[in-house]
Each structure stands twice: as structure tokens, then as C-alpha cells.
Amino acid sequence: MIFLSFLVVTFLQVTSKNIPTEEKLSDYKLNDSAVERFRSGLMLRTVCWEAGKYNETALSLIGSFIENNYPVLHNSPLTVWERVNNYSLLYKVNGQDPKLKPYLLTAHLDVVPTDDQVWDQPPFDANIVENMIYARGAIDTKSSLFGILEAMELHLKNGMKPKRTIYLAFGHDEECGGQYGAVEIVKLLEKRNVRLAFIHDEGTTVTKAPFFSMDSLVACIGISEKGRATVELSVSLPGGHASMPHKQSSIGVLSNAISKLESHPLPSRLSYGGTDVVMFDKMADYIGFPYSLILKNVRFLSPLLNGVFSGNQLMNALMRTTTAITMFHAGTKNNVIATEARAVVDHRIHMTETLEEVLEHDKNVINDERVKMKILEYSKPTPQSCYESSSSTFCPGFELIERTLQKIWKGNLMILPISLFPLTDSRHYVNISDNIYRFIPTIVFVNESSMVHGPNERISIQAYETIINYFYHFIANADHYNRFGDEDDITADVTGKTASGSSHQFDL
């Protein structure tokens, strides 16, 4: 057991020699007009502050901007498009064979608010500094939004007539829950009996292997999302003047409850076989013996691995339901004892755990009837999407992401399924597709991740070029891929000829 512990710790520190690390972009060259379109879109303050409260003027402007700057998409006889609930955008690019199940590419129009004072550059000026575009939304997710639009515009301009129908959906309030954007889009698609082969949404990025000290690049593709429960804790006790305090105060009791929750996290779920175990199993295919043996047996080795992984922030979040204290309210004056104290707990729920189990854990840990619990919001974990095809199971979405990444990065990265921690609009689509994938095709290193939703969000011009390239190849690959499971006589054309006869070189 001591040797095995040493082996695991060593594994967390080694640098894998089995996977090349050089990033190679494809040959597509970004032109100045595409950069300026992107910058102009970033300058629009499409902020969403809270559910139902967003910058309506900016959202109207970005809709008009997109319509005016992508004329081929909007005027093609193949395209039907509409505004949904005033601000969200939905496109249908009709395929040549209506029997084939369509797929959907999605991103969102809105961004989170900014604190302009802590930015090095104004967050809505989209200034270019040392080849980096500084702007709110540069990563999350206007880069994907405009990358999809540029790719689709280019294909249609080149005369592409896709075999299967392609939907594009851009919600306007993802950052505030998606109730007025994605939810309304889904209602419309359900009303029209649309069933999607797969959905490609925002999610994780390419990064340097975040859980091991490797030089390898890794692309983690979200095949599920953790659930979320926000729970209000409240305590009401007699107040009064600070000069004559009671033995216990509402603030003290609630602080003690919070301390208990932070000191007693929910147990690891490694032994339950969720998406985290799937990720380790897939990772083993890239890692040589003896470490692959550990990864292939994570469930059985969980008693040992739990302690090792708990010390890593990312691994800890992968393997359990997490507990974060996000808000605390109490007191009105510095010499008055508060009668009430309230706090908000944010749980990100592991896919193998239920809300009832989480609440029971909280109740048992706090063990104080004076602390009342109230559920403010709950979103259950999403089902796990298909990630590995077999003779009877088709996983076109994941395979197309894999193959497109191999094309763009020349195979020089690990590609792993993962359970996404943040919530995305894609969770609203679970009733119209069994296969949802969450990924942004750009590189964000772990030490840079705080810029997303934080100050100095930025993207390099080269990285934006890669995003366009990715979606350009993805759309072409999807049109010549024959493992959707709904084809009769469709065969893959490895030269990548489009319906119009133009040629692309895609090595599927």
C-alpha cells in the first residue's frame, strides 16, 4: 500500500513522454475584416445582470450587427432564421436529405458584468495589445459565436449544400440562467418536433494537463454537467444592544454551521463510476504502464486515491459534490446585535448523487435545529452523453470533435471526456437530444482561467483564427461523416467534396 501511494504521487508529478506537445494551427489565415467584425461584436455591451434583466439595447444591436455582417447566411435560400423572444437568434440551414437527423451548434450573445476599474484595458473597447484582444466575452463566448458565424458564412459562400440540416442557436441570457433565451428556443424546437443528433455548446478548453504536471495539451470535452443547488441557511435569534449580548448570536450560530460544512465535505464518488471515472479510463489510453493500470482501476483504488486527489482543486471538484459559501448577510449597525443571519451555499452536485442526499448530509453535519434550510434553485445533473462508438452505438458528436481537433492540432493532444462544473445553456436541450458536448476550441491555461468572468479577459488573434478554423472543419467533417446511425447509403468522402463539387482536404 505504501508503494502504491508512492506510485500515485509520482504519477501526479511525472511528465508524460508519450504525447507530443507542439501546437500546430491549420493553414487558414484570418483576414483583417474578420478580426474587425469580431472586435465590433465585442464592443457591444450585451450584459446580463440577473434573470430577466439584461441590456436590451445592446442585444438588439448585436442581432442587427450579425444580420448586416453575414449576408450570405441571412440571404441564402437554404437558410431560415428568426429572432426568438426578441433577442435570441435561431438559424436553420436546410440539408439536402430531410430524413437525416440535424445537429446544432450553439453559443450565447450575452456576457457577465465587469468592474472596469480592475481591467488593464477598457472591457468593451476590444483593444489589441501585443496581439491579444482584451474584451469581456473574448472567450466566454463571443469567440465561439463569431467563429461559428464566420465558418458558416464561408461554407455557404463557397457553395456548400449540406447533406443534413444544421441548426445554429444563440441565446441572449445564458449568464443569467437561460430562461428567456435557450428555454424559449427549445420550446420552439419541441413544438416543431425537432430531434437533434447532437449539440455542440461552450464548455472547457484546450489546456495543459491540469491534474498532472505534464507538458501535454489536453482537450476535455464535457459529456455531462454537474447539477447545482443553491441553498439558503438562516438563523433567527433575539437581538439587542451590543453592550448586553446573549450567549449566542444569529451570526455566531450561522458561522458555526458554515464552518462545519466547509470542514466536512461530501464524500468522494469515485467508487460510483461517474463521468470522472470515464475520464480516467480514457486517459489511461494515453499513459504508459504502470500508471495506466491505476487509471483503469480508479473505482477499486478509490480508498487510496481519494486522499491523493482531494488535495488538488480540480480533482477534488471532479470526484465529489462541492460546497461553496457564496453569500453572507447579517447586521444593520455596528452596535446592534443582528436578529437574523442568512447565507447562501452553492452545491455542484455529482452525477451519481441526488439533491436529497446532499440536503441530508448538510442537515446531519450542521446538526442544529436553529439553522433553517431553504432551496433557492435546483438544476439536476445532466445525463452522460455517448463518447465511444461501438458496433451498435454511434457517437457522432464526440467523434467529430475528436477528429476535428486532430486535424487542427495535428493529433498533438489528449482528448478526454469530463463532467462540466459550470452550468451552460445546453442543459435546457436535454429533451431534444441525447448527446450534448461542451467545448470551446481554444487554449486557456489553468493560471489564466480566472480571466473568464474576471478582469482582463482576452484572446489572441491567432487563437481566434483557430476557433474559426475548428468550426469550419467541423461543419465540413460532419457533412462527410457516415457514423450518425441514420444513413442508408451515405459513404464518407475522404477528399471532402461538398455538394457543390468544391474540394476540402479532410482526413477523416
- The x, y and z cell numbers of residue 225, run together, are 454537467
Active site residue 425: no
Catalytic hit among 140, 150, 173, 174: 174
Write the Ramachandran bin of 263: left for phi over 0, alpha for psi from -120 to 50, otherwise beta. alpha
CA dihedral in degrees (90, 94, 98, 104; nearest 10)?
Answer: -40
Look at strands 227-236 and 458-460 and give their pairing. unpaired
Alpha helices (H) in 311-395, listed in sequence order: 313-319, 355-366
Cis peptide leading into residue 290 (ω within 30°): yes
Please tell me the distance from the alpha carbon of residue 261 to that of residue 85, in angstroms, as a whole number: 41
- Count of other CB atoms within 10 angstroms of residue 124: 21
Record the cell numbers describing residue 318, joined without a space: 471532479
Ramachandran class of 348: left when φ > 0, alpha when ψ lies in -120 to 50, beta otherwise: beta
- Residue in the block written with cell 450584459: 47
What is the Cα–Cα distance from 19 to 330, expressed in whole angstroms?
Answer: 53
**Cis? peptide before 339, omega within 30° of 0:** no
Report the alpha-carbon distance of residue 174 to residue 68 in Å, rounded: 24
To the query of whether residue 110 is one of the catalytic residues in this protein, the response is: yes
Q: Are 54 and 179 in contact (CB under 8 A)?
A: no
- One-letter identity of residue 395: C
Q: Which of 110, 173, 281, 399 is catalytic?
A: 110
Catalytic center residues = 110, 174
